[in-house]
């Protein structure tokens, strides 16, 4: 619906009563079958799992940032320790008008900075001061805009203004004040004075958790992006008022603390009392997240080795962002529950056992189609195979999954090197390693490892009571002593030949035999319990392995997507009218697609008049013009053509040329 009126006005369009009912999120999970209950259950399970995962990752981030935040709070406390007592010592300590400044190195993972700064602001507002301001470089192109943002955020704190100030208040500021540091000083004095004289029965401006005379904390989120002049002017102005109200600056730095001295001359940086703080590196943070999400049995959902490789490659080669890694994990979770009907069993063991009893015949047929289940059936006896393929009651199962994602561990070169090293360990070293293994198994709740634990404890006991481990060493020492006594060449040669012969037929000591037995036992444990996930029956229920699908969503290829959209708009729009061959042009296609295909038929220079005529022919033949009047039709087609050409120029397919005024130059060749 549209209007032809050239005057301004308000037009009401009644909604179409035949509008289709909006589909729910669970409808998209049905995946073409009629089992809506299963779809809703899958969606609910997916949302519940993501809620738990999100809560755990946020808690983990808080725990990892706790040390950094505690150090920052300690720095704030020391910076203005004496200000509330009005002592001259504070003025002496802040000599040369130095402003307390915390330089926080956050790392190159810029995407995660926002979350860290947000958490820091919340901690400071809860426990230190209500006056916390966060500033971005793009919001502060000049000193005036910086002061405006500063005043707006500060006045928004729990501060009550006089009625006269409220009457003069414009729309964007809580009170009409001059954008200057002096105005901030006066405002802070009034707030503190008002709080001190306030009666106990009234609501206090500050929380009981806040400090007395709380400092004003200004956080520059992306310090490197701020204009040098803006930072210089603000620091110089603030240094003149530092004795009158407690001000603290926090610089968020992505690269190196040296950037402060690169951006600020010595005359300005000398006005800052800088202390350096280092946040946890993004690699260490990612390691903690992977340990929490993938290497524990807390969450039933897992990802395959290829999917994990996609996510880690994006992390290592693109952004170093843990936040984006978690978002990719969330996308994997959603895609798994959306594309796999049997993901309804991806839940806690007790709940999955209940759901197995409620599976329908179609769902059991889906299980029988899984490749891992086929391998399991082929390994069974003939009678068992027939029962598994025909009897639903025989098929009810208990899900197993393994934390090992890659190929067989025992086939890796690193594993073989480690086992060779274990075969050469001394007794005390071997005992120390086995004791660590015992401690790990004791803390584990896996019942299947009880026997392994008992056997390892027995091996530790045997090694501790073994006194023959040093027998060979004593023999070799005595042989060397004999060699030192015998100086004659004949006896020396005879003794060396005897030692060589004894080494050939050397018998293993008790310690060596026990060491080989321990190594074989550990190797058996690895082969038994660390088999790849793909070897486990029904691993498809728990593991998401569609790495290509995830790569398409996360590793965008703009060029390929753009060419696909221009050449074949049906691929994205899914309208039957857009179906056509690769060489033909559909008049129902978007204008930019029509203009793009027509420009492929031209050479290096394109005549705009000829291009417009061809465009008009295609559009008119399709009959998709809005006005039946010919003059209006020509104007509409002309306007649509100009817009399509402008879009192609913006995308970089053509550019204006000075060779001919009515021509444009083509920047691509062939189908590109």
Are 324 and 225 in the same domain?
A: no
Contact 248, 216 (CB under 8 A): yes
Q: What is the pLDDT of residues 16-54, one digit of tens each?
A: 555 455 556 666 666 555 455 577 888 888 999 999 999
Asked whether residue 482 is domain-assigned, the answer is no
Are 602 and 624 in the same domain?
A: yes
Closest residue by Cα to residue 522 from 465, 443, 404, 441: 441
Asked whether residue 485 is domain-assigned, the answer is no
pLDDT, mean of residues 393-410: 48
Asked whether residue 403 is domain-assigned, the answer is no
pLDDT, mean of residues 244-271: 89
Q: How many angstroms separate the CA atoms of 641 and 566, rounded?
A: 15
Identify the residue whose tokens are 């189908």.
Answer: 671
State yes or no: pLDDT of 185 exceeds 70: yes
pLDDT, mean of residues 384-409: 51
Are 373 and 239 in the same domain?
A: no
DSSP 318: I
- At 671, give phi and psi (nearest 5°): -85, 5
pLDDT band at 168 (very low <50, low <70, confident <90, very high): very low
Instruction: Select from 264, 280, 296 the last residue of a domain.
Output: 280
Asked whether residue 514 is domain-assigned, the answer is yes
Q: What is the pLDDT of residues 468-527, one digit of tens each?
A: 444 444 455 455 555 555 456 666 666 767 666 665 556 677 888 888 888 888 888 877
pLDDT band at 217 (very low <50, low <70, confident <90, very high): very high
Strand, helix or coil for residue 344: helix
Question: pLDDT value at position 379?
Answer: 67
Closest residue by Cα to residue 552 from 314, 286, 290: 314
Question: pLDDT value at position 317?
Answer: 86
pLDDT, mean of residues 161-165: 40
Q: What is the extent of the structural domain holding 328?
A: 33-53+285-379
User: Rounded to whole angstroms, what are the CA distances from 312 to 103, 297, 325, 541?
Assistant: 29, 21, 8, 23
pLDDT, mean of residues 641-659: 90
Identify the residue whose tokens are 């004894």.
Answer: 502
Q: Parallel, antiparallel, or unpaired: how do β-strands 663-666 and 654-656 relate?
A: antiparallel
Closest residue by Cα to residue 509 from 545, 473, 534, 480: 473
pLDDT, mean of residues 339-350: 83
User: Rounded to whole angstroms, what are the CA distances from 372 to 52, 56, 366, 424, 534?
Assistant: 29, 31, 12, 39, 7
Question: pLDDT value at position 110?
Answer: 84
User: Rounded to whole angstroms, what are the CA distances from 258 to 132, 405, 629?
Assistant: 25, 42, 68
Q: How many angstroms separate the CA atoms of 328 and 641, rounded?
A: 40
Which ranges of 568-605 would DSSP assign to H, the alpha helix?
570-573, 591-599
pLDDT, mean of residues 311-315: 88
Burial of 95: CB neighbours in 10 Å, binned 0-12, 13-18, 19+: exposed
> How long is the chain?
672
Instruction: Select from 280, 311, 339 the last residue of a domain.
Output: 280
Number of domains in the chain: 4
Q: How many angstroms separate the CA atoms of 493 and 65, rounded?
A: 69
pLDDT band at 465 (very low <50, low <70, confident <90, very high): confident
Identify the residue whose tokens are 């524990």.
Answer: 296
Are 271 and 289 in the same domain?
A: no
In DSSP notation, 512-564 reads HHHHHHHHHHHHHHHHHH---GGGSTTHHHHEE--HHHHHHHHS--HHHHHHH
Are 299 and 250 in the same domain?
A: no
State yes or no: pLDDT of 223 exceeds 50: yes
Locate 612 and state its tokens.
Answer: 């417009």
The greatest distance separating any two alpha carbons of the chain, rounded to the nearest whole angstrom, comes to 123
Q: How many angstroms separate the CA atoms of 128 and 150, rounded?
A: 18
Q: Parallel, antiparallel, or unpaired: how do β-strands 663-666 and 605-607 relate?
A: antiparallel
- Higher-confidence residue of 608 and 79: namely 608
State yes or no: pLDDT of 591 exceeds 70: yes
Q: How many angstroms separate the CA atoms of 292 and 62, rounded?
A: 14
Q: How many angstroms separate the CA atoms of 364 and 356, rounded?
A: 9
Contact 459, 425 (CB under 8 A): no
Within a 10 A sphere around the Cβ of 124, how many other Cβ atoms?
24
Are 415 and 346 in the same domain?
A: no
Q: What is the pLDDT of residues 144-159, one digit of tens each?
A: 889 888 888 887 643 3
Q: How far apart are the first and last CA of the chain?
A: 37
Query: What H or E segment, with its residue span, contains residue 272?
Result: strand 272-278
Residues 6 or more apart whose CB falls under 8 angstroms from that of 320 comprise: 107, 108, 109, 282, 283
Are 104 and 229 in the same domain?
A: yes
Question: pLDDT value at position 40?
Answer: 81
Closest residue by Cα to residue 115 from 134, 88, 142: 134
> Does the predicted model carry a pTM greater than 0.85?
no
For the CA atoms of the chain, what is the radius of gyration?
Answer: 37
pLDDT, mean of residues 360-386: 70
Are 581 and 643 in the same domain?
A: yes
Question: pLDDT value at position 97?
Answer: 67
Query: What H or E segment, with its residue span, contains residue 485?
Result: helix 471-485
Locate 527 and state its tokens.
Answer: 């082969």
Instruction: Select from 241, 262, 280 the last residue of a domain.
Output: 280
Asked whether residue 644 is domain-assigned, the answer is yes
Question: pLDDT value at position 661?
Answer: 80
Are 124 and 266 in the same domain?
A: yes
Residues 6 or more apart whose CB falls under 8 angstroms from that of 351 comprise: none
Question: pLDDT value at position 183?
Answer: 79
β-strand partners of 273? 100
Are 218 and 305 in the same domain?
A: no
Question: pLDDT value at position 581?
Answer: 72
Asked whether residue 401 is domain-assigned, the answer is no
- CATH at residue 595: 1.10.10
Are 113 and 219 in the same domain?
A: yes
State yes or no: pLDDT of 166 exceeds 50: no
Question: pLDDT value at position 338?
Answer: 86
User: CA torsion angle for 621, 625, 630, 633 (degrees, to 10)?
Assistant: -120
pLDDT band at 464 (very low <50, low <70, confident <90, very high): confident
State yes or no: pLDDT of 5 exceeds 50: no
β-strand partners of 135? 220
Q: How many angstroms separate the CA atoms of 301 and 403, rounded?
A: 11
Asked whether residue 143 is domain-assigned, the answer is yes
- Higher-confidence residue of 455 and 166: namely 455
Identify the residue whose tokens are 């501790």.
Answer: 464
Question: pLDDT value at position 199?
Answer: 43
State yes or no: pLDDT of 103 exceeds 70: yes
Are 458 and 371 in the same domain?
A: no
State yes or no: pLDDT of 129 exceeds 70: yes
- CA triple 554-557-562, angle to 5 deg: 130
- At 659, give phi and psi (nearest 5°): -65, -45
Q: How many angstroms separate the CA atoms of 576 and 430, rounded?
A: 71
- At 273, give phi and psi (nearest 5°): -100, 90
In the chain, pLDDT over 70 holds for what percent of residues? 69
pLDDT, mean of residues 424-438: 84
Asked whether residue 226 is domain-assigned, the answer is yes
Question: pLDDT value at position 92?
Answer: 44
């Amino acid at each position: 619906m549209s209007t032809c009126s050239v005057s301004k006005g308000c037009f009401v369009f009644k909604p179409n009563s035949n509008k289709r009912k909006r589909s729910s999120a669970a409808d998209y999970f049905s995946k073409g079958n009629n089992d809506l209950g299963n779809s809703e259950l899958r969606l609910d399970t997916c949302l519940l799992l993501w809620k738990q995962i999100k809560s755990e990752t946020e808690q983990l981030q808080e725990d990892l940032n706790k040390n950094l935040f505690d150090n920052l709070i300690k720095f704030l406390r020391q910076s203005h320790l004496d200000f509330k007592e009005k002592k001259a010592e504070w003025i002496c300590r802040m000599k040369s008008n130095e402003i307390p400044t915390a330089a926080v190195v956050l790392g190159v993972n810029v995407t995660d900075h926002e979350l860290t700064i947000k958490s820091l602001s919340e901690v400071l507002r809860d426990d230190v001061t209500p006056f916390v301001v966060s500033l971005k470089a793009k919001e502060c192109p000049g000193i005036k805009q910086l002061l405006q943002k500063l005043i707006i955020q500060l006045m928004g704190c729990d501060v009550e203004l006089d009625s006269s100030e409220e009457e003069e208040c414009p729309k964007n500021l809580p009170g009409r004040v001059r954008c200057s540091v002096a105005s901030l000083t006066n405002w802070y004095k009034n707030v503190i004075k008002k709080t001190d004289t306030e009666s106990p029965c009234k609501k206090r401006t500050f929380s009981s958790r806040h400090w007395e005379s709380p400092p004003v904390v200004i956080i520059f989120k992306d310090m490197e992006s701020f204009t040098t002049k803006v930072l210089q002017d603000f620091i110089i102005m603030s240094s003149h008022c530092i004795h009158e109200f407690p001000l603290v600056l926090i610089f968020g730095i992505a690269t190196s603390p040296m950037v402060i001295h690169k951006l600020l001359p010595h005359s300005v940086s000398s006005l800052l009392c800088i202390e350096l703080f280092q946040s946890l590196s993004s690699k260490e943070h990612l390691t903690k997240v992977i340990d929490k999400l993938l290497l524990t049995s807390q969450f039933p959902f897992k990802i395959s080795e290829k999917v994990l490789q996609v996510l880690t490659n994006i992390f290592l080669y693109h952004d170093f962002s843990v936040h984006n890694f978690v978002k990719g994990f969330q996308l994997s979770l959603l895609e798994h529950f959306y594309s796999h009907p049997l993901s309804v069993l991806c839940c806690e063991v007790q709940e999955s056992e209940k759901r197995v009893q409620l599976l329908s015949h179609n769902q059991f047929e889906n299980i029988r189609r899984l490749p891992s289940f086929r391998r399991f059936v082929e390994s069974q006896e003939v009678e068992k195979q027939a029962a598994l393929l025909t009897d639903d009651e025989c098929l009810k199962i208990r899900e197993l999954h393994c934390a090992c994602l890659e190929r067989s561990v025992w086939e890796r070169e690193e594993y073989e090197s480690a086992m060779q090293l274990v075969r050469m360990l001394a007794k005390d070293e071997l005992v120390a390693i086995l004791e660590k293994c015992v401690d790990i198994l004791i803390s584990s709740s896996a019942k299947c490892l009880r026997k392994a634990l008992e056997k390892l404890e027995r091996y530790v006991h045997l090694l501790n009571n073994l006194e023959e481990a040093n027998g060979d060493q004593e023999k070799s020492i005595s042989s060397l002593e004999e060699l030192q006594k015998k100086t004659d060449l004949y006896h020396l040669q005879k003794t060396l030949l005897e030692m060589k012969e004894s080494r050939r037929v050397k018998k293993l000591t008790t310690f060596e035999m026990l060491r080989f037995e321990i190594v074989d036992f550990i190797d058996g444990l690895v082969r038994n319990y660390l088999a790849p996930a793909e070897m486990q029956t029904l691993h498809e229920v728990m593991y998401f392995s569609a790495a290509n699908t995830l790569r398409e969503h996360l590793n965008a290829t703009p060029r390929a997507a753009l060419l696909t959209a221009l050449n074949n708009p049906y691929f994205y729009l899914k309208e039957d009218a857009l179906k056509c061959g690769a060489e033909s042009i559909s008049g129902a296609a978007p204008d930019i697609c029509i203009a793009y295909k027509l420009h492929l038929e031209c050479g290096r220079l394109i005549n705009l008049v000829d291009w417009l005529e061809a465009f008009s022919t295609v559009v008119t033949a399709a009959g998709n013009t809005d006005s039946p009047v010919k003059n209006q039709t020509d104007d509409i087609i002309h306007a649509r053509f100009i817009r399509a050409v402008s879009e192609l120029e913006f995308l970089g397919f053509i550019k204006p040329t000075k060779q001919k005024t009515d021509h444009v130059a083509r920047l691509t060749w062939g189908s590109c």
